Amino acid sequence: MKEKAVEIKDLKEAFDSIVLCWLATVSSEGEPNVSPKELFFVLDTETLLIANIASPQSLKNILQNSKVCVSGVNVFTQKGIQCKGIATIIDPKDSDFKVHEKVFRPLIKGKFRIQNIISIKVKQTKKIIAPSYFFYPNTDEKEQIKQAKRRYLNYDDNED
């Protein structure tokens, strides 16, 4: 995996507009697994934290093969980010757990118990952009947002 400098601004901006990301892992037998994650936090220029609520397969796979991929897309702009990196599991017994758990408290509001935290050292990033931006070069974000609202929310902007 080719190393690439990652700017916190880029990571933070990308993940701030995403409400759900997907963690892809692979078992030692090469069996893929993709799991949705709703609690994540960009810690620094190369670290993404994911709160593990209920993903035993992801944990098992990370222990067998620490290479992971995380992808997230803003459903309205249809732009996002893909990050590849090396995952480690921070157990509640680890001293870092309580420190990192604090960043998730405002997000979980007591609704979930964090089993452990997946820390990903980001090695490579890539922007994700919907194909319509390429096939229809005049497409802009405002139009994408309107289209997404019509499609996903049955929203008609002519009703305003």
Q: Which residue reads 């620490």 in tokens?
A: 66
Give the Cα separation of 147 and 154 in Å (integer). 10
Average pLDDT of the chain to the nearest whole number: 86
Residue 129: band (very low, low, confident or very high) from pLDDT cuts 50, 70, 90: confident
- Side chain identity at residue 131, one-letter code: P
The HSE-up count of residue 92 (CA atoms within 13 Å, CB side) is 6
Q: Tell me what pLDDT residue 25 has.
A: 98
The amino acid at 126 = K
Task: Work out the pLDDT band at 51, boundaries 50, 70, 90.
Answer: very high
Which pLDDT belongs to residue 7? 53
Please give the average per-residue pLDDT across 4-24, as a whole number. Answer: 78
Helix ranges restricted to H, the chain:
8-16, 56-64, 95-108, 132-135, 141-153
Instruction: Give the integer Cα–Cα distance in Å for 87 and 100.
Output: 15
Domains observed in the chain? 8-129 (2.30.110.10), 135-160 (no CATH)
The three-state secondary structure class of 139 is coil
Q: With a threshold of 0.85, does the pTM exceed it?
A: no
Nearest to 76 by CA among 1, 3, 17, 26: 17
- 82 backbone dihedrals φ, ψ, rounded to 5°: -120, 130
